[in-house]
Chains A and B, each alone.
With several copies, the nearest count.
Chain A
Protein backbone atom coordinates (compact mmCIF):
# COMPACT_ATOMS: atom_id res chain seq x y z
CA UNK A 1 0.00 0.00 0.00
CA UNK A 2 1.01 3.59 -0.47
CA UNK A 3 2.53 5.34 2.52
CA UNK A 4 -0.17 7.98 2.38
CA UNK A 5 -2.81 5.32 2.92
CA UNK A 6 -1.15 3.75 5.95
CA UNK A 7 -2.80 4.94 9.13
CA UNK A 8 -1.32 4.05 12.52
CA UNK A 9 -3.64 2.34 14.97
CA UNK A 10 -4.56 4.19 18.18
CA UNK A 11 -1.85 2.84 20.55
CA UNK A 12 0.84 3.18 17.89
CA UNK A 13 -0.25 6.77 17.26
CA UNK A 14 0.13 7.67 20.92
CA UNK A 15 3.55 6.09 21.06
CA UNK A 16 4.62 7.90 17.89
CA UNK A 17 3.45 11.23 19.30
CA UNK A 18 5.53 10.65 22.43
CA UNK A 19 8.58 9.54 20.45
CA UNK A 20 10.19 12.91 19.63
CA UNK A 21 9.75 14.09 23.21
CA UNK A 22 11.39 10.95 24.50
CA UNK A 23 14.17 11.31 21.97
CA UNK A 24 14.89 14.92 22.97
CA UNK A 25 14.87 13.98 26.62
CA UNK A 26 17.23 11.07 26.02
CA UNK A 27 19.61 13.18 23.96
CA UNK A 28 19.67 15.83 26.65
CA UNK A 29 20.27 13.29 29.41
CA UNK A 30 23.17 11.73 27.57
CA UNK A 31 24.71 15.11 26.76
CA UNK A 32 24.30 16.18 30.35
CA UNK A 33 25.82 12.94 31.61
CA UNK A 34 28.86 13.30 29.42
CA UNK A 35 29.52 16.86 30.58
CA UNK A 36 28.92 16.10 34.24
CA UNK A 37 31.27 13.17 33.97
CA UNK A 38 34.01 15.54 32.86
CA UNK A 39 33.18 18.28 35.37
CA UNK A 40 30.69 17.45 38.12
CA UNK A 41 30.07 21.14 38.68
CA UNK A 42 29.28 21.84 35.04
CA UNK A 43 26.39 24.26 34.84
CA UNK A 44 25.61 24.21 31.14
CA UNK A 45 23.58 21.01 30.95
CA UNK A 46 22.43 20.21 34.47
CA UNK A 47 21.08 16.73 35.08
CA UNK A 48 17.32 16.35 34.66
CA UNK A 49 17.08 15.55 38.36
CA UNK A 50 18.83 18.83 39.19
CA UNK A 51 16.39 20.70 36.99
CA UNK A 52 13.49 18.98 38.71
CA UNK A 53 14.85 19.97 42.12
CA UNK A 54 15.49 23.52 41.01
CA UNK A 55 12.02 23.71 39.53
CA UNK A 56 10.45 22.51 42.72
CA UNK A 57 12.45 25.02 44.72
CA UNK A 58 11.62 27.88 42.36
CA UNK A 59 7.92 27.10 42.44
CA UNK A 60 7.59 26.63 46.17
CA UNK A 61 10.40 28.13 48.24
CA UNK A 62 10.30 31.84 49.01
CA UNK A 63 13.46 33.88 48.71
CA UNK A 64 15.48 34.14 51.90
CA UNK A 65 15.50 37.90 51.99
CA UNK A 66 12.26 39.07 50.44
CA UNK A 67 10.11 36.13 51.54
CA UNK A 68 8.53 36.11 48.12
CA UNK A 69 8.54 33.36 45.54
CA UNK A 70 10.30 34.97 42.60
CA UNK A 71 8.90 32.67 39.98
CA UNK A 72 5.33 33.63 40.71
CA UNK A 73 6.17 37.31 40.93
CA UNK A 74 7.97 37.08 37.62
CA UNK A 75 5.07 35.23 36.07
CA UNK A 76 2.46 37.74 37.19
CA UNK A 77 4.57 40.70 36.14
CA UNK A 78 5.31 39.24 32.71
CA UNK A 79 1.77 38.10 32.06
CA UNK A 80 0.43 41.53 33.04
CA UNK A 81 2.77 43.14 30.51
CA UNK A 82 2.02 40.53 27.89
CA UNK A 83 -1.74 40.80 28.23
CA UNK A 84 -1.53 44.57 28.40
CA UNK A 85 0.49 44.77 25.21
CA UNK A 86 -1.46 42.14 23.33
CA UNK A 87 -4.78 43.57 24.50
CA UNK A 88 -3.93 47.07 23.35
CA UNK A 89 -2.63 45.70 20.06
CA UNK A 90 -5.80 43.74 19.53
CA UNK A 91 -7.96 46.77 20.18
CA UNK A 92 -5.86 49.06 18.00
CA UNK A 93 -5.60 46.62 15.16
CA UNK A 94 -9.33 46.03 15.29
CA UNK A 95 -10.14 49.73 15.10
CA UNK A 96 -7.59 50.56 12.44
CA UNK A 97 -8.24 47.34 10.55
CA UNK A 98 -11.96 48.05 10.38
CA UNK A 99 -11.31 51.61 9.26
CA UNK A 100 -8.86 50.55 6.55
CA UNK A 101 -11.07 47.71 5.40
CA UNK A 102 -14.29 49.70 5.23
CA UNK A 103 -13.42 53.31 4.50
CA UNK A 104 -11.63 54.17 1.26
CA UNK A 105 -10.32 57.38 2.82
CA UNK A 106 -8.78 55.57 5.75
CA UNK A 107 -7.40 52.98 3.35
CA UNK A 108 -5.65 55.60 1.25
CA UNK A 109 -4.23 57.27 4.32
CA UNK A 110 -2.99 54.37 6.30
CA UNK A 111 -2.44 51.22 4.35
CA UNK A 112 0.98 51.99 2.89
CA UNK A 113 2.09 53.60 6.14
CA UNK A 114 1.29 50.46 8.05
CA UNK A 115 2.98 48.32 5.43
CA UNK A 116 6.17 50.32 5.96
CA UNK A 117 5.74 50.32 9.73
CA UNK A 118 5.53 46.55 9.78
CA UNK A 119 9.04 46.37 8.29
CA UNK A 120 10.74 48.50 10.95
CA UNK A 121 12.81 46.46 13.43
CA UNK A 122 11.36 47.68 16.75
CA UNK A 123 14.21 46.44 18.93
CA UNK A 124 16.53 48.94 17.34
CA UNK A 125 14.26 51.79 18.38
CA UNK A 126 14.32 50.92 22.09
CA UNK A 127 16.32 54.02 23.11
CA UNK A 128 13.70 56.31 21.60
CA UNK A 129 10.94 54.35 23.28
CA UNK A 130 12.66 54.80 26.63
CA UNK A 131 12.81 58.52 26.24
CA UNK A 132 9.19 58.73 25.17
CA UNK A 133 7.68 56.26 27.60
CA UNK A 134 10.18 56.01 30.40
CA UNK A 135 11.80 52.89 31.74
CA UNK A 136 8.75 51.57 33.57
CA UNK A 137 5.99 49.26 32.50
CA UNK A 138 4.81 51.56 29.73
CA UNK A 139 7.80 51.12 27.49
CA UNK A 140 7.63 47.33 27.76
CA UNK A 141 3.98 47.32 26.84
CA UNK A 142 4.64 49.80 24.05
CA UNK A 143 7.40 47.63 22.60
CA UNK A 144 4.96 44.75 22.33
CA UNK A 145 2.33 47.03 20.83
CA UNK A 146 4.73 48.45 18.25
CA UNK A 147 6.05 45.00 17.51
CA UNK A 148 2.83 43.21 16.75
CA UNK A 149 0.17 45.80 15.88
CA UNK A 150 1.20 46.51 12.28
CA UNK A 151 1.08 42.85 11.33
CA UNK A 152 -2.27 42.28 13.04
CA UNK A 153 -3.72 45.43 11.53
CA UNK A 154 -2.70 44.48 8.02
CA UNK A 155 -4.19 41.07 8.35
CA UNK A 156 -7.45 42.30 9.85
CA UNK A 157 -7.83 44.99 7.21
CA UNK A 158 -7.34 42.29 4.60
CA UNK A 159 -10.04 40.15 6.21
CA UNK A 160 -12.47 43.06 6.33
CA UNK A 161 -11.81 43.61 2.64
CA UNK A 162 -12.56 39.95 2.03
CA UNK A 163 -16.04 40.20 3.50
CA UNK A 164 -18.19 39.65 0.42
CA UNK A 165 -19.19 42.97 -1.08
CA UNK A 166 -22.66 41.46 -1.35
CA UNK A 167 -23.07 41.60 2.41
CA UNK A 168 -22.02 45.22 2.62
CA UNK A 169 -24.45 46.13 -0.15
CA UNK A 170 -27.20 44.09 1.44
CA UNK A 171 -26.70 45.88 4.75
CA UNK A 172 -27.01 49.20 2.96
CA UNK A 173 -30.28 48.12 1.38
CA UNK A 174 -31.49 47.39 4.91
CA UNK A 175 -30.67 50.99 5.81
CA UNK A 176 -27.44 50.41 7.72
CA UNK A 177 -25.15 53.42 8.20
CA UNK A 178 -21.36 53.07 7.97
CA UNK A 179 -21.17 52.72 11.75
CA UNK A 180 -23.82 50.01 11.82
CA UNK A 181 -22.05 48.14 9.05
CA UNK A 182 -18.81 48.35 11.00
CA UNK A 183 -20.34 47.23 14.27
CA UNK A 184 -22.95 44.75 13.17
CA UNK A 185 -21.59 43.29 9.92
CA UNK A 186 -17.82 43.63 9.82
CA UNK A 187 -16.84 43.50 13.49
CA UNK A 188 -18.51 40.22 14.41
CA UNK A 189 -17.14 38.57 11.31
CA UNK A 190 -13.52 39.54 11.94
CA UNK A 191 -13.54 38.81 15.66
CA UNK A 192 -12.67 35.14 15.13
CA UNK A 193 -9.85 36.26 12.90
CA UNK A 194 -8.71 38.66 15.59
CA UNK A 195 -8.37 35.77 17.98
CA UNK A 196 -6.39 33.70 15.54
CA UNK A 197 -4.22 36.75 14.90
CA UNK A 198 -3.59 37.10 18.59
CA UNK A 199 -2.62 33.45 18.67
CA UNK A 200 -0.22 33.95 15.79
CA UNK A 201 1.30 37.07 17.31
CA UNK A 202 1.83 35.72 20.80
CA UNK A 203 5.17 34.20 19.83
CA UNK A 204 6.49 37.57 18.75
CA UNK A 205 4.91 39.22 21.77
CA UNK A 206 6.84 36.92 24.10
CA UNK A 207 9.98 37.72 22.19
CA UNK A 208 9.54 41.45 22.55
CA UNK A 209 8.58 41.06 26.18
CA UNK A 210 11.70 39.06 26.98
CA UNK A 211 13.84 41.51 25.06
CA UNK A 212 12.33 44.49 26.89
CA UNK A 213 12.66 42.85 30.26
CA UNK A 214 16.27 42.05 29.52
CA UNK A 215 16.98 45.71 28.98
CA UNK A 216 15.56 47.35 32.10
CA UNK A 217 13.54 45.67 34.76
CA UNK A 218 13.59 44.21 38.23
CA UNK A 219 10.95 41.54 37.89
CA UNK A 220 9.68 39.34 35.07
CA UNK A 221 10.43 36.06 33.38
CA UNK A 222 12.77 37.62 30.83
CA UNK A 223 14.51 39.63 33.54
CA UNK A 224 15.20 36.53 35.57
CA UNK A 225 16.52 34.57 32.61
CA UNK A 226 18.96 37.30 31.68
CA UNK A 227 19.94 37.88 35.28
CA UNK A 228 20.80 34.30 36.10
CA UNK A 229 22.60 34.05 32.79
CA UNK A 230 25.22 36.06 34.67
CA UNK A 231 26.18 32.94 36.51
CA UNK A 232 25.13 30.43 33.89
CA UNK A 233 22.39 28.95 36.08
CA UNK A 234 21.06 26.81 33.29
CA UNK A 235 18.87 24.86 35.71
CA UNK A 236 16.97 28.07 36.41
CA UNK A 237 16.97 29.11 32.76
CA UNK A 238 15.65 25.76 31.58
CA UNK A 239 12.96 25.76 34.26
CA UNK A 240 11.88 29.18 33.09
CA UNK A 241 11.99 28.17 29.42
CA UNK A 242 9.80 25.15 30.09
CA UNK A 243 7.48 27.25 32.21
CA UNK A 244 7.15 29.86 29.46
CA UNK A 245 6.45 27.09 26.96
CA UNK A 246 3.71 25.73 29.20
CA UNK A 247 2.22 29.19 29.71
CA UNK A 248 2.28 29.84 25.98
CA UNK A 249 0.58 26.53 25.38
CA UNK A 250 -2.15 27.20 27.92
CA UNK A 251 -2.82 30.67 26.55
CA UNK A 252 -3.00 29.31 23.03
CA UNK A 253 -5.38 26.58 24.10
CA UNK A 254 -7.59 29.04 25.97
CA UNK A 255 -7.81 31.29 22.95
CA UNK A 256 -8.64 28.37 20.68
CA UNK A 257 -11.37 27.25 23.05
CA UNK A 258 -12.72 30.78 23.39
CA UNK A 259 -12.88 31.09 19.62
CA UNK A 260 -14.82 27.85 19.31
CA UNK A 261 -17.25 28.75 22.06
CA UNK A 262 -17.78 32.36 21.13
CA UNK A 263 -18.45 31.93 17.43
CA UNK A 264 -20.86 29.07 16.97
CA UNK A 265 -21.78 30.31 13.51
CA UNK A 266 -18.26 29.55 12.27
CA UNK A 267 -18.58 25.83 12.75
CA UNK A 268 -22.20 24.98 12.26
CA UNK A 269 -21.47 24.46 8.58
CA UNK A 270 -23.01 21.43 6.87
Chain B
Protein backbone atom coordinates (compact mmCIF):
# COMPACT_ATOMS: atom_id res chain seq x y z
CA UNK B 1 0.00 0.00 0.00
CA UNK B 2 1.02 3.56 -0.49
CA UNK B 3 3.13 5.26 2.06
CA UNK B 4 1.92 8.39 3.66
CA UNK B 5 2.77 10.58 6.59
CA UNK B 6 -0.55 11.96 7.74
CA UNK B 7 -3.04 9.81 9.57
CA UNK B 8 -6.39 10.43 11.18
CA UNK B 9 -8.00 8.48 13.97
CA UNK B 10 -11.59 8.91 15.13
CA UNK B 11 -12.85 8.24 18.60
CA UNK B 12 -16.00 8.76 20.59
CA UNK B 13 -16.76 9.16 24.26
CA UNK B 14 -16.65 5.94 26.24
CA UNK B 15 -14.78 5.18 29.43
CA UNK B 16 -12.19 2.96 27.77
CA UNK B 17 -11.60 5.34 24.91
CA UNK B 18 -11.16 8.55 26.86
CA UNK B 19 -7.36 8.14 26.65
CA UNK B 20 -7.56 8.87 22.92
CA UNK B 21 -8.77 12.39 23.58
CA UNK B 22 -6.12 12.88 26.22
CA UNK B 23 -3.39 11.64 23.86
CA UNK B 24 -4.27 14.40 21.44
CA UNK B 25 -4.72 17.13 24.06
CA UNK B 26 -1.64 16.30 26.09
CA UNK B 27 0.70 16.15 23.14
CA UNK B 28 1.73 12.55 23.87
CA UNK B 29 0.50 11.51 20.45
CA UNK B 30 2.42 14.28 18.73
CA UNK B 31 5.53 13.33 20.58
CA UNK B 32 5.35 9.75 19.34
CA UNK B 33 4.32 10.76 15.85
CA UNK B 34 7.32 13.08 15.63
CA UNK B 35 9.51 10.28 16.72
CA UNK B 36 8.45 8.29 13.66
CA UNK B 37 8.35 11.30 11.39
CA UNK B 38 4.62 11.20 10.80
CA UNK B 39 1.56 13.16 11.78
CA UNK B 40 -1.39 11.63 13.60
CA UNK B 41 -4.57 13.57 14.22
CA UNK B 42 -7.14 12.24 16.67
CA UNK B 43 -10.66 13.55 16.12
CA UNK B 44 -13.54 13.24 18.54
CA UNK B 45 -17.05 12.29 17.44
CA UNK B 46 -20.14 12.81 19.45
CA UNK B 47 -21.87 10.04 17.61
CA UNK B 48 -20.19 6.66 17.86
CA UNK B 49 -21.85 5.08 14.84
CA UNK B 50 -21.05 8.07 12.68
CA UNK B 51 -17.38 7.72 13.57
CA UNK B 52 -17.36 4.08 12.43
CA UNK B 53 -19.27 4.99 9.29
CA UNK B 54 -16.76 7.67 8.48
CA UNK B 55 -13.92 5.23 8.96
CA UNK B 56 -15.68 2.70 6.77
CA UNK B 57 -16.20 5.28 4.07
CA UNK B 58 -12.49 6.00 4.07
CA UNK B 59 -12.40 9.38 5.75
CA UNK B 60 -10.26 8.02 8.61
CA UNK B 61 -7.42 5.56 8.98
CA UNK B 62 -8.63 4.17 12.27
CA UNK B 63 -11.46 4.32 14.73
CA UNK B 64 -12.26 3.24 18.24
CA UNK B 65 -14.87 0.49 18.09
CA UNK B 66 -16.01 -2.73 19.69
CA UNK B 67 -15.24 -6.08 18.18
CA UNK B 68 -18.89 -6.49 17.25
CA UNK B 69 -19.32 -3.19 15.46
CA UNK B 70 -16.02 -3.66 13.68
CA UNK B 71 -17.25 -6.94 12.31
CA UNK B 72 -20.60 -5.58 11.22
CA UNK B 73 -19.74 -2.22 9.73
CA UNK B 74 -16.23 -1.96 8.25
CA UNK B 75 -15.52 -5.68 7.87
CA UNK B 76 -19.04 -6.44 6.72
CA UNK B 77 -18.65 -3.50 4.35
CA UNK B 78 -15.57 -4.98 2.72
CA UNK B 79 -12.97 -2.77 4.42
CA UNK B 80 -10.13 -4.98 5.58
CA UNK B 81 -9.60 -3.94 9.18
CA UNK B 82 -7.02 -4.78 11.81
CA UNK B 83 -7.37 -4.52 15.56
CA UNK B 84 -4.24 -2.57 16.34
CA UNK B 85 -4.86 -2.20 20.05
CA UNK B 86 -7.09 -4.20 22.32
CA UNK B 87 -7.73 -1.61 24.97
CA UNK B 88 -10.05 -3.30 27.39
CA UNK B 89 -13.03 -5.51 27.72
CA UNK B 90 -16.22 -4.50 29.34
CA UNK B 91 -16.43 -6.03 32.77
CA UNK B 92 -19.70 -4.69 34.02
CA UNK B 93 -19.81 -1.54 31.94
CA UNK B 94 -22.71 -2.89 29.92
CA UNK B 95 -25.76 -4.00 31.83
CA UNK B 96 -29.36 -5.14 31.58
CA UNK B 97 -31.34 -3.10 34.10
CA UNK B 98 -34.91 -3.67 35.18
CA UNK B 99 -37.15 -1.58 37.36
CA UNK B 100 -37.88 -3.44 40.59
CA UNK B 101 -37.29 -6.95 41.85
CA UNK B 102 -36.83 -9.97 39.65
CA UNK B 103 -34.44 -11.82 37.41
CA UNK B 104 -33.76 -12.19 33.71
CA UNK B 105 -36.67 -14.56 33.31
CA UNK B 106 -39.01 -11.80 34.40
CA UNK B 107 -38.23 -9.89 31.22
CA UNK B 108 -40.62 -12.21 29.46
CA UNK B 109 -43.48 -10.24 27.97
CA UNK B 110 -41.87 -6.89 28.71
CA UNK B 111 -40.51 -4.33 26.24
CA UNK B 112 -36.80 -3.57 26.51
CA UNK B 113 -35.30 -0.25 25.51
CA UNK B 114 -31.83 -0.32 24.04
CA UNK B 115 -29.74 0.85 21.15
CA UNK B 116 -30.75 -1.75 18.61
CA UNK B 117 -28.02 -3.77 16.91
CA UNK B 118 -25.43 -2.49 19.38
CA UNK B 119 -23.41 -4.42 21.96
CA UNK B 120 -26.33 -3.86 24.30
CA UNK B 121 -28.47 -5.87 21.97
CA UNK B 122 -25.82 -8.58 21.96
CA UNK B 123 -25.58 -8.52 25.73
CA UNK B 124 -29.34 -8.93 26.00
CA UNK B 125 -29.28 -11.83 23.56
CA UNK B 126 -26.55 -13.54 25.61
CA UNK B 127 -28.47 -12.89 28.81
CA UNK B 128 -31.73 -14.25 27.48
CA UNK B 129 -29.83 -17.23 26.16
CA UNK B 130 -28.58 -17.97 29.64
CA UNK B 131 -32.14 -18.39 30.93
CA UNK B 132 -33.47 -20.10 27.85
CA UNK B 133 -35.43 -17.15 26.47
CA UNK B 134 -35.39 -15.54 23.05
CA UNK B 135 -35.97 -12.06 21.88
CA UNK B 136 -39.39 -13.07 20.58
CA UNK B 137 -40.41 -13.86 24.17
CA UNK B 138 -40.13 -10.16 24.96
CA UNK B 139 -42.69 -7.53 24.13
CA UNK B 140 -40.23 -6.29 21.52
CA UNK B 141 -37.13 -4.16 21.73
CA UNK B 142 -37.48 -0.42 21.31
CA UNK B 143 -34.62 1.41 19.72
CA UNK B 144 -33.69 4.23 22.06
CA UNK B 145 -30.86 6.68 21.52
CA UNK B 146 -28.12 6.39 24.13
CA UNK B 147 -28.19 10.13 24.59
CA UNK B 148 -31.76 9.88 25.83
CA UNK B 149 -31.55 6.62 27.73
CA UNK B 150 -31.58 8.24 31.16
CA UNK B 151 -34.59 10.34 30.38
CA UNK B 152 -36.28 7.30 28.87
CA UNK B 153 -35.63 5.27 32.01
CA UNK B 154 -37.42 7.92 34.00
CA UNK B 155 -40.68 7.43 32.08
CA UNK B 156 -43.37 4.96 33.05
CA UNK B 157 -43.34 3.39 29.60
CA UNK B 158 -40.00 1.79 30.28
CA UNK B 159 -39.67 -1.47 32.22
CA UNK B 160 -36.13 -2.44 31.35
CA UNK B 161 -33.15 -1.02 29.52
CA UNK B 162 -29.83 -2.31 28.28
CA UNK B 163 -27.10 0.27 28.10
CA UNK B 164 -23.49 1.06 28.93
CA UNK B 165 -21.51 3.35 31.14
CA UNK B 166 -21.63 6.14 32.16
CA UNK B 167 -25.35 5.65 31.68
CA UNK B 168 -25.45 2.51 33.79
CA UNK B 169 -23.97 4.14 36.86
CA UNK B 170 -26.11 7.19 36.27
CA UNK B 171 -29.25 5.05 36.28
CA UNK B 172 -28.31 2.82 39.16
CA UNK B 173 -27.04 5.79 41.12
CA UNK B 174 -30.17 7.88 40.93
CA UNK B 175 -32.82 5.15 40.93
CA UNK B 176 -32.91 3.06 44.11
CA UNK B 177 -35.16 0.47 42.45
CA UNK B 178 -32.88 -0.07 39.47
CA UNK B 179 -31.98 -3.75 39.39
CA UNK B 180 -29.04 -4.98 37.32
CA UNK B 181 -30.09 -8.38 35.98
CA UNK B 182 -27.11 -9.20 33.84
CA UNK B 183 -23.96 -7.37 32.91
CA UNK B 184 -20.86 -7.79 30.84
CA UNK B 185 -18.92 -9.22 33.74
CA UNK B 186 -21.07 -12.29 33.16
CA UNK B 187 -19.56 -12.67 29.71
CA UNK B 188 -15.98 -11.50 30.29
CA UNK B 189 -13.87 -10.87 27.23
CA UNK B 190 -16.74 -10.90 24.80
CA UNK B 191 -17.19 -7.15 24.46
CA UNK B 192 -13.79 -5.88 23.45
CA UNK B 193 -13.00 -2.21 22.98
CA UNK B 194 -10.50 -1.78 20.23
CA UNK B 195 -8.62 0.68 18.12
CA UNK B 196 -9.07 -0.68 14.64
CA UNK B 197 -7.18 0.57 11.60
CA UNK B 198 -7.22 -0.04 7.92
CA UNK B 199 -5.17 -3.17 7.23
CA UNK B 200 -3.66 -1.87 4.02
CA UNK B 201 -2.65 1.43 5.57
CA UNK B 202 -1.04 -0.35 8.48
CA UNK B 203 0.78 -2.75 6.22
CA UNK B 204 2.20 0.09 4.16
CA UNK B 205 3.07 2.23 7.17
CA UNK B 206 4.40 0.28 10.12
CA UNK B 207 5.57 3.51 11.72
CA UNK B 208 1.90 4.50 12.03
CA UNK B 209 1.25 1.40 14.12
CA UNK B 210 4.33 1.97 16.19
CA UNK B 211 3.59 5.58 16.94
CA UNK B 212 0.00 4.87 17.98
CA UNK B 213 0.92 1.88 20.11
CA UNK B 214 3.79 3.76 21.69
CA UNK B 215 1.65 6.71 22.62
CA UNK B 216 -1.18 4.54 23.90
CA UNK B 217 0.98 2.47 26.23
CA UNK B 218 2.82 5.49 27.54
CA UNK B 219 -0.50 6.83 28.68
CA UNK B 220 -1.56 3.40 29.96
CA UNK B 221 1.37 3.34 32.31
CA UNK B 222 0.48 6.83 33.53
CA UNK B 223 -3.07 5.66 34.19
CA UNK B 224 -1.94 2.51 35.87
CA UNK B 225 0.14 4.68 38.15
CA UNK B 226 -2.98 6.70 38.94
CA UNK B 227 -1.80 9.95 37.36
CA UNK B 228 -4.30 12.46 38.77
CA UNK B 229 -3.88 15.07 36.06
CA UNK B 230 -4.50 12.65 33.23
CA UNK B 231 -7.42 10.92 34.94
CA UNK B 232 -9.06 14.20 35.90
CA UNK B 233 -8.78 15.50 32.36
CA UNK B 234 -10.39 12.36 30.99
CA UNK B 235 -13.10 12.46 33.62
CA UNK B 236 -14.02 16.00 32.72
CA UNK B 237 -13.92 15.37 29.02
CA UNK B 238 -16.43 12.59 29.50
CA UNK B 239 -18.64 14.93 31.48
CA UNK B 240 -18.13 13.48 34.94
CA UNK B 241 -15.69 13.95 37.80
CA UNK B 242 -12.68 11.97 38.94
CA UNK B 243 -14.67 9.77 41.30
CA UNK B 244 -17.28 9.05 38.68
CA UNK B 245 -14.67 8.18 36.14
CA UNK B 246 -12.85 5.90 38.53
CA UNK B 247 -16.11 4.09 39.23
CA UNK B 248 -16.53 3.50 35.52
CA UNK B 249 -12.97 2.30 35.19
CA UNK B 250 -13.68 -0.22 37.90
CA UNK B 251 -16.19 -1.88 35.62
CA UNK B 252 -13.70 -1.91 32.80
CA UNK B 253 -10.93 -4.43 32.46
CA UNK B 254 -8.31 -2.05 31.11
CA UNK B 255 -5.23 -3.70 29.67
CA UNK B 256 -2.72 -1.24 31.05
CA UNK B 257 -0.05 -3.79 30.39
CA UNK B 258 0.48 -4.56 26.71
CA UNK B 259 1.24 -8.14 27.58
CA UNK B 260 -2.26 -8.55 28.97
CA UNK B 261 -3.70 -7.19 25.74
CA UNK B 262 -1.62 -9.65 23.77
CA UNK B 263 -2.83 -12.41 25.99
CA UNK B 264 -6.47 -11.43 25.40
CA UNK B 265 -5.93 -11.37 21.64
CA UNK B 266 -4.38 -14.77 21.59
CA UNK B 267 -6.86 -16.26 24.02
CA UNK B 268 -8.43 -19.47 22.85
CA UNK B 269 -11.88 -18.13 23.67
CA UNK B 270 -11.68 -15.35 21.12
CA UNK B 271 -12.65 -17.42 18.03
CA UNK B 272 -15.64 -18.80 19.93
CA UNK B 273 -16.72 -15.31 20.94
CA UNK B 274 -16.31 -13.95 17.46
CA UNK B 275 -18.30 -16.80 15.99
CA UNK B 276 -21.20 -16.21 18.31
CA UNK B 277 -21.03 -12.48 17.56
CA UNK B 278 -21.12 -13.24 13.84
CA UNK B 279 -24.13 -15.47 14.32
CA UNK B 280 -25.90 -12.81 16.27
CA UNK B 281 -25.20 -10.26 13.54
CA UNK B 282 -26.33 -12.58 10.81
CA UNK B 283 -29.50 -13.35 12.66
CA UNK B 284 -30.31 -9.64 12.81
CA UNK B 285 -29.59 -9.17 9.13
CA UNK B 286 -26.75 -6.78 9.90
CA UNK B 287 -24.17 -8.50 7.79
CA UNK B 288 -26.06 -7.30 4.76
CA UNK B 289 -28.75 -8.89 2.65
CA UNK B 290 -26.04 -10.30 0.40
CA UNK B 291 -24.57 -12.32 3.26
CA UNK B 292 -25.32 -15.97 2.57
CA UNK B 293 -24.40 -17.17 6.07
CA UNK B 294 -22.94 -16.14 9.39
CA UNK B 295 -19.43 -17.03 8.25
CA UNK B 296 -19.56 -14.79 5.24
CA UNK B 297 -16.81 -12.58 6.71
CA UNK B 298 -13.57 -14.20 7.60
CA UNK B 299 -11.73 -13.34 10.82
CA UNK B 300 -8.01 -14.00 11.24
CA UNK B 301 -6.31 -14.52 14.62
CA UNK B 302 -2.72 -13.84 15.66
CA UNK B 303 -1.76 -17.48 15.30
CA UNK B 304 -2.85 -17.45 11.69
CA UNK B 305 -6.03 -19.43 12.22
CA UNK B 306 -9.32 -18.11 10.86
CA UNK B 307 -13.00 -18.44 11.47
CA UNK B 308 -15.61 -17.74 8.85
CA UNK B 309 -14.80 -17.55 5.18
CA UNK B 310 -11.03 -17.85 4.87
CA UNK B 311 -11.24 -16.45 1.36
CA UNK B 312 -12.86 -13.26 2.57
CA UNK B 313 -10.83 -12.25 5.61
CA UNK B 314 -11.74 -8.69 6.51
CA UNK B 315 -11.09 -8.59 10.24
CA UNK B 316 -7.70 -9.37 11.72
CA UNK B 317 -6.44 -9.54 15.28
CA UNK B 318 -2.80 -8.59 15.09
CA UNK B 319 -0.55 -8.49 18.16
CA UNK B 320 2.58 -7.21 16.41
CA UNK B 321 2.52 -3.70 17.77
CA UNK B 322 1.19 -4.57 21.22
CA UNK B 323 3.93 -7.12 21.42
CA UNK B 324 6.50 -4.45 20.49
CA UNK B 325 5.15 -2.31 23.30
CA UNK B 326 5.36 -5.22 25.69
CA UNK B 327 8.92 -5.81 24.57
CA UNK B 328 9.79 -2.14 24.94
CA UNK B 329 10.80 -2.15 21.30
CA UNK B 330 9.09 1.13 20.35
Contact = CB atoms under 8 A, between A and B. Distances in A.
Q: In the complex they form, do A and B come into direct contact, defined as C-beta atoms under 8 angstroms apart?
A: yes
B46 A223 contact: yes
Given A57-B289, A135-B54, A215-B46, A230 B150 contact: yes
A230 B155 contact: no
B114 to A, nearest CB: 11
25 contacts: A42-B174, A43-B56, A44-B154, A57-B289, A65-B233, A127-B50, A130-B151, A134-B156, A135-B152, A136-B157, A214-B47, A214-B147, A216-B51, A216-B113, A223-B46, A226-B46, A226-B147, A229-B49, A230-B69, A230-B146, A230-B166, A230-B170, A231-B76, A231-B150, A232-B154
A232 B285 CA distance: 13
Contacts of A232: 53, 56-57, 73, 77, 150-151, 154, 170
B154 A216 contact: no
Interface in B56-109: 56-59, 69, 72-73, 76-79
Interface stretch (B136-144, B253-261, B264-272, B300-308): B136-144
Interface in A212-232: 213-218, 223, 226-232
B286 interface: yes
A17 interface: no
Contact of A39 (B79, B147, B236): B79
A268 interface: no
Contacts of A217: 46, 142-143
Contacts of A43: 56, 77-78, 174, 288
A185 interface: no
Contact of A127 (B53, B236, B240): B53
Contact of A42 (B78, B144, B157): B78
Interface of B: 13, 43-47, 49-51, 53-54, 56-59, 69, 72-73, 76-79, 113, 116-118, 140-152, 154-158, 166-167, 170, 174, 232-233, 236, 239-240, 285-289
Nearest to B80: A39
Contacts, number: 166
A126 interface: yes
A205 B32 CA distance: 41
Given A41-B78, A44-B56, A44-B57, 13 more contacts: A40-B78, A126-B148, A127-B54, A130-B53, A130-B54, A131-B59, A134-B156, A136-B157, A215-B45, A226-B147, A230-B73, A231-B76, A231-B286
Contact of A229 (B44, B79, B148): B148
A131 B154 contact: yes
Interface string A37-68: 00111111000000000100100000111000
Contacts of B117: 227, 230-231
B144 A231 contact: no
B151 A127 contact: yes
Contacts of B148: 126-127, 130, 215-216, 229
A95 interface: no
Contacts of A230: 13, 49, 69, 72-73, 116-118, 146-147, 149-150, 166-167, 170, 239, 286
Nearest to B135: A65
Nearest to A42: B78
A227 B144 contact: no
Classify chain A's interface size: 20 to 34
B77 A42 contact: yes
A176 interface: no
Contacts of A44: 56-58, 151, 154
A244 interface: no
A121 B279 CA distance: 34
Residue in B116, B140, B141 whose Cβ sees the most chain A Cβ within 10 Å: B116
B149 to A, nearest CB: 8
Interface in A195-239: 213-218, 223, 226-233
Contacts of B288: 43, 231, 233
Nearest to B144: A216
Contact of B59 (A135, A227, A229): A135
A216 B152 contact: yes
Contacts of B72: 230-231
A57 B233 CA distance: 19
B248 to A, nearest CB: 12
B57 to A, nearest CB: 4
A217 B43 CA distance: 9
Interface in A12-57: 39-44, 54, 57
